[in-house]
Amino acid sequence: MFHYLNEHGERIGSFTTRAELQQLADRGTVTPETVIEDQQGHTKFARDLGVSFPLPPTVPVTPLTPFPPPLDVRQRKARIHFWTVLCIVTFALATLGDIWVSHQERKLPKQVKEIQKELQQNRQKALGWYYSFSPGSGVSDEQIQEILEERLAKITLILMLIILPPYLLFYYFFLFRLWEEIPGEFARTTPGNAAGFALIPFFHLYWMFTAFWGLYKDMNKAMESYGLEPRFGEAHIKSVCVTWVIFFALGILLMLVEVVNANIGGRLSIYLSIFDAAVTISAYWLIRTNVLEFIDFKSSVGK
C-alpha cells in the first residue's frame, strides 16, 4: 500500500499498483511534485517513480499589434521643412501687418488735417464703412484723431486674430518636430514641453534658450557620443536668442516712445520689425538646415 501526501505531509489517498498511480496522474490528482510514501515510510516525489504526466494546458497568446513602421528619413525631413515654411510665411505676414499699422499711426496727424480741410470746403468726408463727417459738424482735431485711432485699433485687432493664432500653432509644431529628432537619452526636455513652454508670454524669453540653444547642445552631445566633432554652432544660436530678448525689450521701449512722439516711435518700430523679421526668418531656416543635417547623421549611425 502506497500513500500520497499533501503539502503538509498528511496522507490524502492511497494506491497499490503503478497502474493506479498512473490513473491518478492522468486525472491530475497526483502531480510531479506530489510526495509518495511507501510501506516502510520512505518518501519520493511522484516524478521519480517513472509515471508520465499530462502536459500543462497551453495559454493562447494574443498576437501583439505591430508598431507602425518608423518614418523614413525623407518623410521626417519633409515634415520639418513643411512646418518651417509655414512659420516663416506667417511670421512674415505678421511683420508686414505690424509695419502697416506703424505706418498708419504715423499718418494720423496728416489724415486729421486732410479731413479738416475737406470739412472747411463744405464737403462730406467718409472713412469707408466706419464713420463719416458732415460739413459744419464742428469736430475738433482731437475728436477726429480719436475716431481714427479707434478705427485703426479695430483693424489691428482683426489682423491679429487672423495671423497670430495660425502662427502660434505652426510655431508649436515647428518646435515639437525639431525636438522629436533628439534621442531621449540626450534630450534635456520632451517635445511637448519644448513647444508648449515657448508659448507662455514673458516666460518664453527664458525658455527660448532651452528650446533653441539647448537643442543645439543636445545635438552636439549626441554626435560626441559617437566620437564625432560637434558641427552645430552653439555660440551662434545663443547670440540669436540674446538678440530676440533685446528686440523684445526694444519693442516695449518703442511703445512708450510712440506715446510721446508717434512719428519717431512709429518710424523706429518699422525699422525694428524689419530687423526682427530678418533675424528670425534666417534663424528659422538655419535651425531647419542644421536639424536636417542631424537627421542625416542619425541615419548614418542607424538611429
Q: pLDDT tens digits, the chain, 303 residues: what are they? A: 777 778 777 788 888 887 887 888 888 888 888 888 887 777 888 777 777 877 766 656 555 444 445 568 889 999 999 999 999 999 999 999 999 988 888 888 887 887 777 766 665 554 544 455 555 556 677 877 788 888 888 989 999 999 999 999 999 999 999 999 998 889 999 999 999 999 999 999 999 999 999 999 999 998 888 888 878 889 999 999 999 999 999 999 988 887 777 778 778 888 999 999 999 999 999 999 999 999 988 888 766
The answer to whether residues 38 and 32 touch, using CB atoms and an 8 Å cutoff, is no
Do 93 and 9 belong together in one domain?
Answer: no
d(CA 168, CA 30): 71
Do 42 and 155 belong together in one domain?
Answer: no
The answer to whether residue 274 is domain-embedded is yes
Residue 11 lies in domain: 2-49
The answer to whether residue 245 is domain-embedded is yes
Buried b (16+ CB within 10 A) or exposed e, 135-165: eeeebeeeebbebbeebbeeebeebeeebee
Domain count, the chain: 2
Do 183 and 234 belong together in one domain?
Answer: yes
The answer to whether residue 59 is domain-embedded is no
The answer to whether residues 39 and 1 touch, using CB atoms and an 8 Å cutoff, is yes
Side chain identity, residue 48: D
The answer to whether residue 265 is domain-embedded is yes
Do 36 and 109 belong together in one domain?
Answer: no
The answer to whether residue 62 is domain-embedded is no
The answer to whether residue 67 is domain-embedded is no
H-helix or E-strand spanning residue 15: strand 11-15
d(CA 216, CA 194): 13
The answer to whether residue 178 is domain-embedded is yes
The answer to whether residue 214 is domain-embedded is yes
Do 152 and 282 belong together in one domain?
Answer: yes
Side chain identity, residue 56: P
Question: What does pTM read for this prediction?
Answer: 0.68
Do 176 and 129 belong together in one domain?
Answer: yes
